[in-house]
Structure formats: C-alpha cells, structure tokens
C-alpha cells in the first residue's frame, strides 16, 4: 500500500467526520455560523462564564468571537465545535471535541442565563453519544477548574473519572488556577444519566 493510501486509511480511522447536527430532547446542537458572533461575544463577555475557561481573554468582544468563528465555520477543521441552541436557533453555548496533544478533548460552556437547567449535561451526553458511534474506541479527556463544581458534576454524571490535579494558566483570570483533569473510557459512558 502506498503512503497516500495508507494516510487516507488512517485518517478515516482516526477522524469522526464532519460536525453533525444533533437533536436532543430540548436542544439542537449544530455547526457554527458567522452570525453567532454577537451571542458568543455576549456570553463570553460575562466574566462569570469566561473565568471558568482557560483560553478566553477578558474583555471579550465581537471581533474575538469572529476570530474564533472563521476557522470553525469553514468546516475544514476535524474538530466538532457545536453551537448549543434551545431550538430557536439562538446560540447559548458550545460543546466541542477537539484533537489536542494527540488525543480528543471535550470542552464546553453555557451562557449564564441557562445555568441550572440540565442543558449542559444534555448537550454533552448527546454529543458524546454521537461521537462514540463514529469513534467507539477513543478515550475522551476533559477537566475543569477545581472551583467549577457544576462542570465537574456534569462529567461525573456521564462517567468521567478524575485522573490528575494540576494548575493551568487562565487567560481571563491572568493567573495559574487549580485544575482537575478527567478522562472518559467508552465503556464508562453513561448517556442514560442525562435529564
């Protein structure tokens, strides 16, 4: 087998395919579009949201959102970055799986006005369920800042286990922050635990 064919074969085995549209009980998760920029800027401009994320600057504005959206909306990235909507196509958050450091990493955030309703557990469960159908043997890594108990509870409900504790730099907080690292094996995934 020549190198080009081998490379294509390996890519098909290690990539999940294009970012899908996923419908759950209360949500529609879809690929991003450039018109999501104002909603993203509004959500991530809220320090209570951005302080929980390692790679989001403060202040955060529409141009920051566009800078992130352009590669996402191109459809050329292998990552799954899904816009969370409540069915009215209004962007209220993100759930994503991206290849980082040789593995798949889960990340997510939600506009603060939608906290406490079980939306994130539902969005993450729906995304992982579809991802595991395409990539059944893949481990998923994630984590959260140690004081983000809501995020750690989402992961625990779905079967993630703690594998490490460390400190990482938070751009929005401009300091090192205690962080809990987690991992999900496909056989430990509990999709039935969503609301």
What is the average pLDDT score of the chain? 90
Q: What is the pLDDT of residue 192?
A: 62
Q: Report, as an integer, the average pLDDT of 162-183.
A: 97
Please enumerate in sequence order all residues whose Cβ is within 8 A of that of 26, keeping only pairs 6 or more positions apart, or say none.
86, 87, 119, 122
Q: Which domains does the chain have, with CATH numbers?
A: 19-189 (3.40.630.30)
Q: Is the pLDDT of residue 170 over 50?
A: yes
- Residue indicated by tokens 């209220």: 92
Kindly give the interhelix angle for 149-158 and 119-134, rounded to the nearest 10 degrees: 40
Assign 12 a pLDDT band (cuts: 50, 70, 90): very low
pTM over 0.85: yes
Q: Of 2-11, 42-51, 124-133, 140-149, where does mean pLDDT reach its minimum?
A: 2-11
Rounded CA separation 67/99 (Å): 19
**CA angle, 182 then 133 then 31, to 5°:** 80
Cα 28 from Cα 123, distance rounded (Å) = 8
């Amino acid at each position: 087998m020549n190198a080009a064919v081998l490379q294509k074969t390996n890519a098909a085995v290690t990539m999940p395919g294009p970012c899908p549209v996923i419908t759950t009980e209360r949500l529609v998760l879809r690929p991003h579009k450039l018109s999501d920029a104002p909603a993203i800027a509004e959500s991530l401009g809220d320090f209570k949201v951005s302080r929980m994320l390692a790679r989001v600057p403060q202040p955060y504005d529409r141009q920051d959102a566009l800078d992130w959206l352009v590669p996402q909306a191109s459809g050329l990235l292998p990552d799954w970055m899904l816009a969370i909507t409540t069915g009215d196509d209004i962007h209220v958050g993100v759930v994503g799986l991206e290849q980082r450091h040789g593995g798949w990493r889960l990340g997510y955030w939600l506009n603060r006005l939608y906290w406490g309703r079980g939306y994130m557990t539902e969005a993450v469960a729906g995304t992982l369920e579809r991802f595991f159908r395409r990539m059944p043997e893949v481990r998923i890594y994630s984590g959260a800042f140690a004081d983000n108990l809501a995020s750690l509870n989402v992961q625990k409900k779905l079967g993630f286990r703690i594998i490490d504790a460390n400190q990482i730099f938070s751009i929005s907080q401009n300091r090192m922050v205690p962080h809990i690292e987690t991992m999900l094996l496909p056989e430990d995934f509990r999709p039935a635990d969503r609301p």
